[in-house]
A and B are shown apart, each in its own frame.
Chain A
Amino acid sequence: MNKLPQWADVVLVPLISLLLAALVAAIVLLAIGQSPTAALGIMVKGAFGSANGWGYTLYYTTSFIFTGLSVIVAFHAGLFNIGGEGQAQLGGLGVALVCLALPWPHWTVALLAASLGAAVFGAAWAAIPAYLQAKRGSHIVITTIMFNYIASALIVYMLVDVLRPAGQMDPASARFPAGAKLPALSDMPFISEFFARMNPDGTPKLTKAGLQMYSNVPANVTLFIALAACLVVWLLLWRTRLGYQIRAFGKSEAASKYAGINPVKITMIAMLISGGLAGMMAINNVMGSAERLLQNSAEGAGFIGIAVALMGRNHPLGVLLAALLFGFLYQGGAALGLNTTIPIEMRVVVQGLVILFTGALDQMVRMLLVWVFGFGRKAVA
């Protein structure tokens, strides 16, 4: 009946949801005898207060952009892909196999090949649930969750029995060759100024505490690929014929059949793109940061992607902003654990609250706003 103006729907609803989450988090903090304002200060400072903090925040953001985009592409086709976590792990396997295959001459070549490997492996992992959904009607939510577990088991097997170098104790692949090392943001021209350890005059940069700057940040060139991916996904969904068919199919399967859109084809393609995007997250964490494949490499980013997509209103720009927010929560939360007696679990609580309010209770805020707006209109009239 009553409709919210678009700006309120896009800006106000998430903002109020966030404030509510922050409010409840503050109450929790007060209840355990901590100061919410101090905690917020530490989080902001930890995430954005230093070059180093930015380095981590942007690193997390990059991963979340990929998994968030993965969720929205599937979602526009009416498919809820919860398997981002498994697809990202498989993407990691693809990256590792590519990186270890050759002594790569230059990182750009390695990056291209590894991106392809990550996307193909992630897409392949999504293809099986997609096929089961399209042909057999097995619900994709169930199968993708199951495939997350299978992915973890597969990776453990690969690490223990196949990829582990002889004599190594921990279940991990060998370190990638030097030619496959991606430049961190702190190594890149122009940007490196911000992260540089040295002042232009050659003296070491010091932090406010008087410590020498730590230059090696995990955020790397993949960030730019993630930003490009946002643009590509937007173009795909709203400017191409394929995107048109994906969105039509997601809105109404019956109508799509009338229009002659092949449901099997669209389900497969949308899930392949979705899985490929989730897989590409691995070039950020596996290739760009860890430089070898470890167990559980995705570290939950696949699931965070769902929250990012929900909060980002299934739009690439929204995903970008939401990924930044969750990057802040991750890095700020870590700073909280490092610098205060607030238990590290508090960061999980805060993330949980943000997901609860922006995702699950989003409709509550909207109804409230509809009421407020309706009231305003009546008062004017």
Chain B
Amino acid sequence: MVATANNGGRQATAALTPYAIELKGISKAFGPVQANKDINIAVPRGTIHGIIGENGAGKSTLMSILYGFYRADAGEVYINGKLTPIPDSQSAIRAGIGMVFQHFKLVQNFTVLENVILGAEDGPMLNTSLAKARKVLGDLSREYEMDVDPDALIEDLSVGHQQRVEILKALYRQADILILDEPTGVLTPDEADHLFRILNGLKDQGKTIILITHKLREIMEATDNVSVMRRGTMVATVKTAESSPESLAELMVGRKVLLEVEKVKATPGAVVLAVENLRVKDDDGIERLKGVSFEIRAGEILGIAGVAGNGQSELLEALGGIARATGRITLKGVDLPLVGLAANGQTRRAAGIAHVPEDRQHLGLIMDFSAWENVAFGYHNDPKYQKNAVFMDNDALRADTERKMATYDVRPPIATLAAKNFSGGNQQKIVVAREMEQNPDLLLIGQPTRGVDIGAIEFIHKQIVALRDAGKAILLVSVELDEIMSLSDRIAVMFDGQIMGTADPETTNERELGLLMAGVSGKA
């Protein structure tokens, strides 16, 4: 009851100003890095406000300040027109702010109900809280089209449902302002559409929503206003209806950006890679890849679409010699070993397969190694990097690295800098340079632009198309549908370890792909 009174009180002050949140002159530095510089932003009540910017533009820092994770070096936060200091996240919750993180903060083996009351229990005994939460949850679910079984365990829920639990958690804590950090990264297009319907419902109830994303399409579809951040500063706040993806991209990057990939029609040649009935089991003996077969021809890009975790990683690992597999892989008519000592990254590279792994920081790079050491990674047996039988030719390697850094515009172009000191996009450029410059017959490339800023995306896409035009076969795995649709010459959609169907990027649409991604066979 007290909570309702609180809520009422908040609404009483609300009448004074049209803004749910106003940030004035927020600055925050981490050592020499100025993450936020004099940020001003006003979010009108009852709107969906997008915040967009490249990686490292300062979006997350700004929201962390608003949610009490960081303290700003300077600046003021006004909630509903009232100066509200937010020293910790408890104060943020009290001020009516709820946050849905990119990586959910849910206890996997608790029920939905238990997760919702966690940290908001009314007393030492749980019964009363659980009963109250059950009732509130029922009301909220009906109101916002968010049906979630309150007694289901989190681990049994789909990612989309887990996200709804996070939203319910915030609403249960009386949040009026909801911040969502990259909410659609793990969702199918259908789930994302549902999320936006929920958000619109919340907006209609007078809630204010801040949507952080790097996807221009979502901004265009879902938001009323959008603020663009670049290098720690707020460059513009515009009405979404009065802007375009092109103009927003230009604001983000600070120059004109080509959003569409320019490419001519593919002229596929002979079959380079043939995969038959490929199966992979994980360490627990569970089959993750359940009999996949496909072919890729020379001069062709096959795009594998699908929600993360449906066997794409295992497919790349089996092809790259990392995971053991059964079935058959032939490269230019030659069978590749799938088990035993001969199935490893070295023999795959020797056979002509280059591999840009999905997780560059975990697999593709040694983060503590310098750029030049990373350029030899996987190719350390290459004769051109050897001085003699014993020693490596580090000078040649450094020279080679500097040449690659220049060609691929890696910044800063310092070969001796450790990989961890480059930005995500430049780290990816190092990996892409290393793999593409081997001039492989087949390039495996997973999530080529994950965590990469728009300028670098454009560059990497161009390189992929150039490699295709040079007559190479390319297997592209990405969870970004836009990327799959604009780059691929053919699309295969994976679901639950199998290929659900194939599509022609010229004729297909997101709806058809989305159904396949959700395991519904579109053509049946």
A377 to B344, CA, bound (A): 48
Q: At the interface, yes or no: B127 with Cβ under 8 Å from chain A?
A: no
| A-binding segment of B116-124, B326-334, B366-374, B471-479 | B366-374
Q: At the interface, yes or no: B15 with Cβ under 8 Å from chain A?
A: no
Give residues of chain B (306-325) contacting chain A, Cβ–Cβ below 8 Å: 320-322
Shortest Cβ distance from residue B434 to the other chain A in the assembled complex, whole angstroms = 11
Shortest Cβ distance from residue B227 to the other chain A in the assembled complex, whole angstroms = 26
Point out the residues of chain A lying under 8 angstroms from B142, CB to CB.
none
Q: Is the CB of A240 within 8 A of B392?
A: yes
A50 to B377, CA, bound (A): 51
| A239-B391, A244-B380, A258-B378 given; A251·B366 CB < 8 A | yes
Shortest Cβ distance from residue B97 to the other chain A in the assembled complex, whole angstroms = 26
Q: Is the CB of B391 within 8 A of A259?
A: no
Q: Is the CB of A255 within 8 A of B380?
A: no
Point out the residues of chain A lying under 8 angstroms from B364, CB to CB.
255, 258
Chief secondary structure at chain A's binding surface: helix
Q: Is the CB of A258 within 8 A of B31?
A: no
Q: Is the CB of B392 within 8 A of A239?
A: yes
Chief secondary structure at chain B's binding surface: loop
Point out the residues of chain B lying under 8 angstroms from A166, CB to CB.
none
Point out the residues of chain A lying under 8 angstroms from B346, CB to CB.
259-261
A251 to B378, CA, bound (A): 14
| A1-B31, A260-B345 given; A254·B380 CB < 8 A | no
| A-binding segment of B205-213, B355-363, B508-516 | B355-363
Chain A residue at smallest Cβ distance from B365: A255
| A258-B357, A259-B377, A260-B349 given; A2·B341 CB < 8 A | no
A262 to B368, CA, bound (A): 20
Chain B residue at smallest Cβ distance from A265: B341
Shortest Cβ distance from residue A1 to the other chain B in the assembled complex, whole angstroms = 5
Point out the residues of chain A lying under 8 angstroms from B341, CB to CB.
262
Which of A255, A374, A377 interacts with B362 by CB under 8 Å?
A255
A239 to B395, CA, bound (A): 11
Size range of the chain B interface in the assembly: 20 to 34
Shortest Cβ distance from residue B421 to the other chain A in the assembled complex, whole angstroms = 9
Q: At the interface, yes or no: A248 with Cβ under 8 Å from chain B?
A: yes
Q: Is the CB of A241 within 8 A of B381?
A: yes
Chain A residue at smallest Cβ distance from B386: A241
Q: Is the CB of A260 within 8 A of B344?
A: yes
Q: At the interface, yes or no: A220 with Cβ under 8 Å from chain B?
A: no
Q: Which of A241, A248, A260 has the most CB of B within 10 A?
A: A260
Chain B residue at smallest Cβ distance from A249: B366
Shortest Cβ distance from residue B323 to the other chain A in the assembled complex, whole angstroms = 9
A147 to B355, CA, bound (A): 41
Give per-residue flags for B456-468: 1 if the beta carbon is below 8 A from chain A beta carbons, else 0.
0000000000000
Point out the residues of chain A lying under 8 angstroms from B366, CB to CB.
247-248, 251-252, 255
Q: Is the CB of A258 within 8 A of B376?
A: no
Q: Is the CB of B322 within 8 A of A258?
A: yes
Q: At the interface, yes or no: A139 with Cβ under 8 Å from chain B?
A: no
A148 to B283, CA, bound (A): 33
Q: At the interface, yes or no: B286 with Cβ under 8 Å from chain A?
A: no
Give per-residue flags for A18-31: 1 if the beta carbon is below 8 A from chain B beta carbons, else 0.
00000000000000
Point out the residues of chain B lying under 8 angstroms from A258, CB to CB.
320, 322, 345, 355, 357, 363-364, 378
Q: At the interface, yes or no: B521 with Cβ under 8 Å from chain A?
A: no
Q: Is the CB of B394 within 8 A of A254?
A: no
Shortest Cβ distance from residue B391 to the other chain A in the assembled complex, whole angstroms = 5
Q: At the interface, yes or no: A285 with Cβ under 8 Å from chain B?
A: no
| A254-B362, A254-B363, A255-B362 given; A260·B391 CB < 8 A | no
Which of A1, A241, A257, A374 interacts with B322 by CB under 8 Å?
A257
| Chain A interface, number of residues (Cβ within 8 angstroms) | 22
Q: At the interface, yes or no: B348 with Cβ under 8 Å from chain A?
A: yes
A333 to B394, CA, bound (A): 44
Q: At the interface, yes or no: A245 with Cβ under 8 Å from chain B?
A: yes
A356 to B378, CA, bound (A): 39
Point out the residues of chain B lying under 8 angstroms from A251, CB to CB.
366-369
Give per-residue flags for B12-55: 1 if the beta carbon is below 8 A from chain A beta carbons, else 0.
00000000000000000011100000000000000000000000
Point out the residues of chain A lying under 8 angstroms from B129, CB to CB.
none
Q: Is the CB of A244 within 8 A of B392?
A: yes
Q: At the interface, yes or no: B5 with Cβ under 8 Å from chain A?
A: no
Q: Is the CB of B392 within 8 A of A259?
A: no
Give per-residue flags for A326-337: 1 if the beta carbon is below 8 A from chain B beta carbons, else 0.
000000000000
Shortest Cβ distance from residue A50 to the other chain B in the assembled complex, whole angstroms = 42
Q: Is the CB of B344 within 8 A of A262?
A: yes
Q: Is the CB of B322 within 8 A of A377?
A: no
| A239-B392, A239-B394, A244-B392 given; A259·B345 CB < 8 A | yes
Point out the residues of chain A lying under 8 angstroms from B381, CB to CB.
241
Shortest Cβ distance from residue A265 to the other chain B in the assembled complex, whole angstroms = 9
Shortest Cβ distance from residue A134 to the other chain B in the assembled complex, whole angstroms = 13
Chain A residue at smallest Cβ distance from B368: A251
Point out the residues of chain A lying under 8 angstroms from B377, CB to CB.
248, 255, 259
Q: Is the CB of A244 within 8 A of B373?
A: yes
Q: Is the CB of B30 within 8 A of A245?
A: no
Residues of B in contact with A (beta carbons under 8 Å apart): 30-32, 320-322, 341, 344-349, 355, 357, 362-369, 373, 376-378, 380-381, 386, 390-392, 394
Residues of A in contact with B (beta carbons under 8 Å apart): 1-2, 235, 239-241, 244-245, 247-248, 251-252, 254-255, 257-262, 374, 377
Can you list 21 A-B pairs, Cβ within 8 angstroms, ordered by A?
A1-B30, A1-B31, A2-B31, A239-B391, A247-B366, A248-B380, A251-B367, A252-B362, A255-B362, A255-B363, A255-B377, A257-B345, A258-B320, A258-B322, A258-B363, A258-B364, A259-B380, A260-B345, A261-B345, A262-B341, A377-B32
19 more contacts with CB within 8 A, not counting A247-B366, A248-B377, A257-B345, are A2-B31, A235-B391, A240-B391, A241-B381, A248-B369, A248-B380, A251-B367, A252-B362, A255-B364, A258-B322, A258-B355, A258-B364, A259-B345, A260-B345, A260-B348, A260-B378, A374-B31, A377-B31, A377-B32
Q: What are the nearest 6 A-B pairs in CB distance?
A: A260-B345, A260-B346, A259-B378, A258-B363, A260-B344, A251-B366
